[in-house]
């Protein structure tokens, strides 16, 4: 139980680190032009968040959390991606009922974008923790050259402690991915994405100037974000593993069918992929209507929220609260429609 929690926490933390590293690199390389575009056209944020959330697994959600941590996207984009994502359950739904799963995903994307827009309409920056802080990327004129060709070989010959630790850690993670020690047990698009992102991160770590590596990667990402993301992710995963080991949620839900909608939404608050599979299975067996599966999918987000828990507990609770309200509202509306139509 502890070993599995550590393993999953390391995988999640590694991907968040890789995404933050790549985002930081691209942002400095382009001097923030792409970030300015996202800020100028908020609808692009909702579209990007909905698309990334719709991809199976939690990688898209992790990416939006990384962007939000640097104010590259608004709070509403977080709401959008968490509503749109179904986490690892998306793979199960695609295998059990592929046609319905695609329709469900499209509905979730639409609801997510509408909810994200309305959230930003009513939630001003001061009402959320990170939104009220200036956490945009920092630029320095002297490090605008991210690929100093004449210095790369010299940097590798005279490795600093920081560069050596980062290169060794990334090589170790890549080896673990290839050997099957980390990530999915089979070669799917998630594993390929993890490997591709890690190789890009290794290239960046090996080639960037010392100033960029120390100020942007080591001081900012490694020392500030990585320990916090790992500790909170591991703690949450371990707690959920203990609770799920001693609670028979499946039997509990089956014996309380009249309140299953409320239970489905409340279970969706758990930052874990497993519990939602109960409702996926019940729907596949015809035991619950589509509206309950939809409501459950709106509220739950797999492991997608765990990195946000490390960044801001207040924003974590806010997103969960909004998604719970949206899930209950949609579930009740769908149920009422089935009764009266």
Which pair of structure tokens corresponds to residue 148? 């100093």
CB 209 within 8 A of CB 146: yes
Q: Is residue 159 part of a domain?
A: yes
Enumerate the β-bridge partners of residue 57.
Answer: 87
Sign of the Cα torsion 328, 330, 333, 339 reads negative
The pLDDT assigned to 143 comes to 45
For the CA atoms of 211, 215, 216, 221, the dihedral, rounded to the nearest 10 degrees, stands at: 140
pLDDT tens-place values along the chain, 341 residues long:
678 878 877 887 887 788 778 877 776 776 656 666 676 778 889 999 999 888 877 778 888 888 888 788 889 999 999 999 987 778 778 777 888 999 999 999 999 999 999 999 887 655 565 554 545 444 444 444 455 555 677 777 788 888 899 899 999 999 999 998 887 788 887 788 889 989 998 988 888 888 778 877 787 678 877 887 787 777 767 776 776 677 665 565 555 555 788 888 998 888 876 677 778 877 887 778 898 999 999 999 877 888 888 778 888 999 999 999 999 999 988 877 766 65
CB 315 within 8 A of CB 280: no
Q: How far is it, in rounded angstroms, from Cα 27 to Cα 23?
A: 6
Q: Is residue 139 part of a domain?
A: no
The pTM (predicted TM-score) of the whole model is: 0.69
The pLDDT assigned to 319 comes to 93
The model's pLDDT over 26-52, given as tens digits with 9 standing for 90+, comes to 767 766 566 666 767 788 899 999 998
DSSP string, 263-305: HHHHHTTSS-STTHHHHHHHHHTTSS-HHHHHHHHHH--TTTT
Helix, coil or strand: residue 257: helix
Q: Is residue 138 part of a domain?
A: no
**Domain count across the chain:** 1
Q: Is residue 253 part of a domain?
A: yes
Please, what is the end-to-end C-alpha distance for the chain in angstroms?
Answer: 47
DSSP string, 80-95: HHHHH--BTHHHHHHH
Q: How far is it, in rounded angstroms, from Cα 267 to Cα 300?
A: 8
Q: Is residue 319 part of a domain?
A: yes
* Tokens 């047990």, residue located: 185
Q: Structural domain of residue 174, as residue ranges?
A: 2-133+144-340
Q: Is residue 97 part of a domain?
A: yes
Q: Is residue 273 part of a domain?
A: yes
Q: Is residue 280 part of a domain?
A: yes
The pLDDT assigned to 55 comes to 83
Q: How far is it, in rounded angstroms, from Cα 207 to Cα 225?
A: 22
The pLDDT assigned to 141 comes to 45
């Amino acid at each position: 139980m502890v070993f599995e929690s550590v393993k999953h926490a390391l995988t999640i933390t590694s991907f968040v680190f890789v995404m933050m590293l790549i985002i930081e690199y691209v942002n400095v390389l382009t001097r923030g032009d792409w970030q300015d575009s996202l800020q100028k056209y908020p609808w692009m944020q909702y579209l990007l968040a909905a698309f990334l959330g719709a991809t199976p697994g939690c990688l898209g959600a992790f990416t939006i959390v990384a962007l939000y941590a640097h104010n590259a996207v608004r709070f509403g984009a977080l709401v959008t991606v968490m509503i749109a994502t179904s986490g690892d359950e998306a793979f199960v739904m695609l295998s059990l009922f592929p046609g319905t799963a695609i329709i469900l995903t499209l509905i979730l994307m639409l609801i997510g974008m509408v909810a994200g827009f309305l959230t930003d309409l009513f939630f001003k920056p001061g009402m959320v923790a990170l939104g009220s802080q200036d956490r945009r990327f920092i630029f320095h004129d002297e490090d605008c050259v991210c690929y100093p060709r004449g210095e790369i070989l010299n940097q590798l010959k005279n490795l600093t402690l920081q560069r050596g630790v980062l290169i060794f850690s990334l090589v170790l993670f890549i080896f673990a991915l290839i050997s099957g020690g980390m990530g999915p047990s089979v070669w799917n698009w998630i594993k390929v994405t993890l490997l591709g992102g890690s190789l890009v991160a290794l290239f960046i770590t090996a080639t960037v100037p010392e100033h960029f590596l120390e100020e942007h990667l080591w001081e900012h990402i490694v020392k500030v974000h990585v320990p916090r993301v790992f500790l909170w992710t591991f703690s949450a995963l371990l707690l959920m593993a203990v609770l799920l080991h001693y609670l028979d949620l499946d039997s509990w839900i089956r014996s309380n069918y009249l309140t299953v909608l409320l239970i489905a939404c409340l279970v969706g608050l758990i930052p874990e992929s497993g519990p939602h599979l109960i409702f996926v299975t019940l729907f596949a067996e015809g035991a619950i209507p589509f509206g309950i599966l939809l409501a459950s999918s709106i509220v739950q987000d797999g492991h997608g929220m765990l990195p946000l828990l490390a960044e801001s507990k207040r924003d974590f609770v806010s997103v969960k609260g909004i998604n719970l309200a949206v899930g209950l509202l949609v579930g009740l509306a769908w149920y009422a429609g089935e009764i009266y139509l």
